[in-house]
Structure 1
Amino acid sequence: MAWVVVVSVLILIVLSLLRVNVIFGILIAAGAAGLMSGLSLTETTNLLVSGMGGLASTALSYVLLGIFAAMIAYSGIISFLVKRLIKLMQGKRYKLLLVIAGVSCLSQNVIPVHIAFIPVLIPPLLHLFDKMKIDRRGIAAALTFGLKAPSNSIPLGFGLIFQTILVKEMTANGMAIELTSVTKAMIIPGIGMLIGLLFAVFISYRKDRELVQVDPVMSVKEEIAAGAENGKLTFTKQHLFTLMAIICALIVQIMTDELLLGALAGIFLMVAFVVVPFRKGDHFVDEGIKMMGMIAFIMLIASGYSHVLEETGSIDALVSSTTNILGDNRLLIAVVILLIGLLVVMGTGTSFGTVPIIAALYVPVCAAAGFSPMATAALIGTACALGDAGSPASDMTLGPTAGLNADGKHDHIWDTCVPTFLHFNIPLFITGLIAALIL
């Protein structure tokens, strides 16, 4: 049973690299996992469907955020941002990439909206990126860094949630640790991701890249361009109302801790303030689904795939089989734990959901091998984070693609997943290993 996860995830990775749509890739990988575990296709399908409900609320939230983003684009307010950025950032490629990474970081800790800002901010800037001949793989790296590094290393917002889960699971499995110690332990892996970002921005994607011009598949950018041409660059009451709707949406989300309610609040206010015509509701729904519907559906299927792997016992079998052969070699234990974390998260697309699995099985192993609580926290935290920045089913990659592919010129696998995997998971693996051995 231990090999089921390995083979299934490899099938997903190979299919993705061959440009098979990630939805089909996940379905085939899930079917293979079920068959290899002795289940019939009907039983596997039932497990897949029953597990899709795990992220139903998140998927619906993303669709509503897409609708809200389409309404914001219609208001023309993003034109101010684009016009200002064109003046400030013309010829300053590195600064623009680092600013985008900074904004992305804020979305995890200071204003915890996660990927909600991407469909609002990125599509209007695509023309600027092309004009500056910026390699969009660098933009993807900047966005993914901001979505991932702070949520692992900084104990605020999503970072606080991640580190609190780690504290809870380690304590529950017999190794008590304080939150401050977890934060200190995750600094070293965070530095690794920072190195990956700087390498991507200043070395890998520093050269000009001109994309082949294609007909846009979405009209959000067209709305903004039309707004500029029609003279909507003067601040109006509609723009004021739009700002109020955005702020209210953020407040509702923070107060209720529900992304769905925040998106609904923003949509309601945009209609109530007559910023968008009520009769064009179908248009905004269509635009929202085009923008975020794919990512929402992929997350549903990824949740079902994760459920199949868990219910068949293949993940537990994989981890249990490795603990029997590790012995007390700390270096070998650290390497294997990180590799299993990478493999599992590549398939499930979630580091948060991997914490209980890895912690329950490896805290006793780390304790027996003499790892300190901080070293164990760094090891397990890094193992759970690995793969998230390169998984085809992770919102850390799906979010950037949803924004960068608004005009149909950005490939999810080769322009987002492969670059982010190489630039972040390699240094994350190395620094996580170092942290586990020196702390």
Structure 2
Amino acid sequence: MASAVIVSVLVLTVLSLLRVNVIVAIIAAGLTAGVMNGESLTGALDLFIAGMGDQAQVALSYILLGAFAAAISFSGITTLLVQTLLRVLKDKKIWLVFIIAAVASLSQNVVPVHIAFIPILIPPLLHMFDQMKLDRRAVAAALTFGLKAPYVTIPLGFGLIFHQTIQDAMASNGVEASIGTIAQSLLIPGLGMVVGLLIAVLITYKKPKEPRASDGTGLSSIPVGEKMAFRKQHGFTIIAILVTLIIQAIWGNLIFAALAGLIIMFIFRVVPFLHGDRTMGEGISMMGFIAFVMLTAAGFANVLTETASVEALVEASSGMIGDNKAVISLVLLLVGLVVTIGIGSSFATVPILAALFVPICLAAGYSPMAIATLIGTAGALGDAGSPASDSTLGPTSGLNADGRHNHIWDTCVPTFLHYNIPLIIFGWAASLLF
């Protein structure tokens, strides 16, 4: 049982690197985990399918969000945005990447819309990226940084939810820690992500890169056209965007938010009713893939949970690590990396890891702050780089809108290298320091 997690995640990783469709790779990994734990193929598939329902709401919200993004593109307001950025940031591609990272960071704490902004903001900028010969892997790194680092380090918006998840999981296992303590414990791992971003943007992906040919899967058109003046439909589009953001911020329901935005776009004829089918079709084309990946990732997570595979992995690991804190911290972080790559969600991984980590850490004499560091860092590890994480699927949905960006090699591999390695190093050091 202990090896089921490792082998299944290896299956997922190898198949993904071989450019097998991510959905097929996740299904294969889930079935592998189930069979290795004594389930029949049909039994493993039943567990897999049963878990998919856990992400049904998220999948529907992503599809509706894609339709809303397509409607915004239809309005032409994104063309105005591109023209403005071209004038202001011409030949300043490094600044552009850091601005994108800053905007992405705001989506986690100040205006908590998570990946909702990506299919709206990024596709219209792709032509500009190509003109600048900007390596899209740098943009992927910037987006993933903004989607991840703020919630890891700042207890606001999604960050507050993440820190409260850590707090509740620790309390359930007998260790009390305040939100302030948890925030302090994750500052050093967060600094590691800043280092990873700087290396990616200023060193690894700084050189000019010619755009590749489209793979034929992108949207039918991404507006870049001739110079455009501000018109009334652009005003209605801004109203629709603001309404969507307000509903998401107040009620936290992306389905209602996206529906409200779409309704406003249709009522004010920003998108004619005759183009409704086209808008929904392009929305599904843009975000439908993410929706199905999230569904299958939930199925894989359910197989691992129901078969107690993660618990077996930690128990097997704890029997070999002794009482050396340096070794214990490293092993626990690596376990978190493996589990999160498979499940694809830091938030969902934290309660699982806390139940397993806390007894080991208490026996080894870790402080509450050090335990919070290990749980938070181990949960965050793998979120960058996981084929099934919205921190990688979100950037790909925008950067591959024209079919010129590969999810695995252009998003997952770069973000895995630039964020997971610093997180392990800085998180390991912080756990020993505290």
Q: TM-score, normalised by structure 1?
A: 0.97
In the TM superposition, residue 216 of structure 1 has moved relative to its aligned partner by 5.4
Q: Is the counterpart of residue 341 in structure 1 residue 300 in structure 2?
A: no
User: How far apart are 1:214 and its partner, in Å?
Assistant: 3.1
Runs of 4+ in 1 over 6 A off after TM superposition: none
Distance, in Å, in 2 between the alignment partners of 1:19 and 1:219 is 21
Q: What's 1:205 paired with? A: 205
Give distance in 2, aligned partners of 1:214 and 1:169.
45
Aligned to 1:254: 249
Q: Which residue of 1 aligns with 2:303?
A: 308
**Does residue 82 of structure 2 align to residue 82 of structure 1?**
yes
Partner of 2:278: 283
C-alpha distance in 2 between matches for 1:300 and 1:385: 20
Q: 361-370 vs 9-18, which deviates more?
A: 361-370
- From 384, 391, 397, the equivalent of 1:389 is 384
Q: Residue 224 in 1 paired to residue 196 in 2?
A: no
Q: Which deviates the most, 342-351 or 207-216?
A: 207-216
CA deviation after TM superposition for structure 1 residue 223, in Å: 4.9
Output one character per residue of 1:35-89: Cα deviation in whole Å (capped at 9) or x when no partner. 1111111111111111001111011100000000000000011111100111111
Q: Deviations over 1:4-24 (max 9, x none)?
A: 111110111111111111111
Once the two structures are TM-superposed, the CA of residue 327 in structure 1 deviates from its matched residue by 2.6
Superimposed CA distance per residue, residues 238-286 of structure 1 (whole angstroms, 9 cap, x where no aligned partner): 1111100000011111111111111111111111111111121110010
Query: 2:29 and 2:346 mapped to 1: Cα distance?
Result: 19
Q: Supply the distance in 1 between the matched residues of 2:284 and 2:208 (Cα, whole angstroms).
A: 32
Alpha-carbon contact 1:218-1:287 (below 8 Å) kept: no
CA distance in 2, matches of 1:435, 1:167: 18
- 1:137 paired residue number: 137
> In 2, distance between residues paired with 1:236 and 1:88?
21
Helix, strand or coil at the partner of 2:319: helix
Deviation at 1:418, TM superposition (A): 0.4
- In 1, the alpha carbon distance for the partners of 2:219 and 2:375 equals 43
- Is the CA contact 1:387–1:425 (under 8 Å) kept in the aligned structure 2? yes
**2:53 aligned partner:** 53
* Amino acid across the alignment from 1:241: F
Deviations 1:392-433 (A, max 9, x none): 110110111111011111111110100000000000100000
Amino acid at match of 1:201: V
Per-residue deviation at 1:322?
Answer: 1.9
Match of 1:419 among 402, 414, 419: 414
Q: Which residue identity lines up with residue 53 of structure 2 in the other structure?
A: G
Deviation at 1:122, TM superposition (A): 0.5
Q: Does 1:239 align with 2:234?
A: yes
The answer to which of 325-334 and 149-158 deviates more is: 325-334
Counterparts of residues 31-50 of structure 1 (less than 5 Å): 31-50=31-50
1:431 aligned residue: 426
Partner letter of residue 115 of structure 1? I
Matches within 5 A, 1:6-405: 6-214=6-214, 217-219=217-219, 222-225=221-224, 228-229=225-226, 233-405=228-400
Query: What secondary structure, in the 3-state scheme, does the structure 2 residue paired with 1:326 have?
Result: coil
What code does the residue aligned with 2:173 have? N
Letter of the 1:185 partner, please give it: S
Cα distance in 1 for residues equivalent to 2:214 and 2:232? 35
Distance in structure 2 (CA, Å) of the matches to 1:128 and 1:223? 11
Instruction: Please say if residues 186 and 378 of structure 1, whose CA atoms lie closer than 8 Å, have aligned partners that are also in contact.
Output: yes
Partners of 1:216 and 1:82 in 2: CA distance: 23
Which residue of structure 1 lines up, in the alignment, with residue 401 of structure 2?
A: 406
Contact 2:170/2:176 (CA < 8 Å) preserved in 1?
Answer: yes
Name the CA distance, whole Å, in 1 between partners of 2:3 and 2:426: 27
C-alpha separation between the residues in 1 aligned to 2:343 and 2:89? 38
**Secondary structure of the residue that 2:223 maps to in structure 1?**
helix
> Using the alignment, how far apart are the partners of 2:33 and 2:359 within structure 1?
28
Name the aligned partner's letter for residue 418 of structure 1.
V
Contact map agreement 1:118 1:400 (CA 8 A) in 2: yes
- 1:361: Cα distance to partner? 1.3
Aligned-residue identity in percent: 56
Q: Measure the CA separation in 2 of the matches of 1:44 and 1:172.
A: 30
- Unaligned 5+ residue runs, structure 1? none
Instruction: Give the RMSD, CA atoms, in angstroms.
Output: 1.1
Aligned length: 434
In the aligned structure 2, how far is the partner of 1:24 from the partner of 1:292?
A: 17
Q: Which residue identity is paired with 2:305?
A: E
Q: Distance in 2 between matches of 1:366 and 1:432?
A: 15
What is the rounded CA distance, in whole Å, between the counterparts of 2:317 and 2:150 in structure 1? 31
* CA–CA separation in structure 1 for the residues paired with 2:99 and 2:222: 25
Structure 2 segments unaligned to the other structure (5+ residues): none
**In 2, Cα distance between the equivalents of 1:8 and 1:223?**
38
Provide the C-alpha distance between the structure 2 equivalents of 1:216 and 1:197, rounded to a whole number of angstroms: 30
Amino acid at match of 1:224: P
> Residue type of the partner of 1:259?
L
Q: Report the more deviating stretch, 362-371 or 322-331.
A: 322-331
- The residue type paired with residue 102 of structure 1 is A
Change in Cα spacing, 1:369 to 1:247, as seen in structure 2 (3 Å) is same
